[in-house]
Structure 1
């Protein structure tokens, strides 16, 4: 009871930060989901007027586009659902030990996967439509597509590592044998350095 009373502000600040982060990421994921869904229903290069089959369906780059666009759509859907589960969580103090950090780890990872595969799909579309089978155009497209991914990873890397270590790796000499073990308030105190 003393621990709960003394760390009431810490729980409120953690809830506020987590909700703000989740809301921002949810907006980004919704935009990505909209883009990849629109790309999925409008095939690059158009479709045949008689059959409706995409014109470039036999091209390898079209297969790369289709697979990466599908992965991006599924990953962004997963990220959106994870972020919504965080927003609707009860934010009890025992949830901050494993449940919420695990969800916050899955969310940005799904967002990164979605963004990466969206850039692959966009690069494949550029190559199909504009490069006219010029292989030398592939290098600048890949370099430019890699820049936003590298920036995202650089900015979020420390957060992802901290969340992974605090949830799944040895902490303070203890090994977590089970994710469903009993709640111990000392774990939160040690985790937040109080």
Structure 2
């Protein structure tokens, strides 16, 4: 998908610097440069579409599982809190996790149902995917906070501080693992989607 995003990005940059007359010139078989480019990269678009749909489907499954867990926790974990602050923290984080996981699933669903034209790989699809992953991270983080408040309520009263610390470290490790697993992909998508034009940046540096 990144290769497809980069190829569309390059041809757009080339179009910005070539004379306007060259864009409409045709070759010996009556094809414009744009038509030749689309034909030569048709296979790449198909591969990018396949990868994007598979990735979005996997993320929808993860978002659905998260939404199911926090939805059940909302009913099973609303009692037994002695401190109002702990109860409010649990309620807010659980609700945030539920809503953000549903929002992430909707975003990834819009990716699956997209048109998948070559121009969509330049900005539309990467932006949706980046937004979906960011919201998914918020959902997972909120779920860990809700889980942490429940663990705090249980182990703090029993003065099991060591167990409380281990659970906290484990929860933080899961969030860091999620960030590490997605960082490279999201970073490259962000660069190819939001960075300045390739040739404009080179001209500026000179």
Given the two structures, how large is their TM-score scaled by the length of structure 1? 0.79
Give the distance between the partners of 1:98 and 1:91, measured in 2 at CA: 12
Structure number, greater radius of gyration: 2
Cα 1:167–1:57 change in 2 (3 A) is: farther
Unaligned runs of 5+ in 1: 47-54, 176-194
Give the distance between the partners of 2:49 and 2:196, measured in 1 at CA: 25
How much has 1:133 moved relative to structure 2?
A: 6.2
- 1:129 maps to which residue? 154
- 2:63 maps to which residue? 29
Deviations 1:52-88 (A, max 9, x none): xxx4264322221111111111110110000000010
Give the distance between the partners of 2:45 and 2:161, measured in 1 at CA: 54
1:103 aligned to 2:137?
no
Q: Select the residue among 49, 62, 76 that pairs with 1:42.
A: 76
1:160 aligned to 2:194?
no
The alignment's C-alpha RMSD in Å is 1.8
How much has 1:165 moved relative to structure 2?
A: 1.3
Q: Select the residue among 170, 173, 180 that pairs with 1:147.
A: 173
- The answer to whether the 8 A contact 2:155-2:161 is kept is no
SS at structure 2 position matched to 1:131:
helix
Given the two structures, how large is their TM-score scaled by the length of structure 2? 0.75
Give the distance between the partners of 2:83 and 2:56, measured in 1 at CA: 40
- Structure 1 window deviating more from structure 2 (35-44 vs 92-101): it is 35-44
Unaligned runs of 5+ in 2: 1-34, 202-206
Q: Select the residue among 95, 99, 117 that pairs with 1:74.
A: 99
How much has 1:131 moved relative to structure 2?
A: 3.1
How much has 1:43 moved relative to structure 2?
A: 2.4
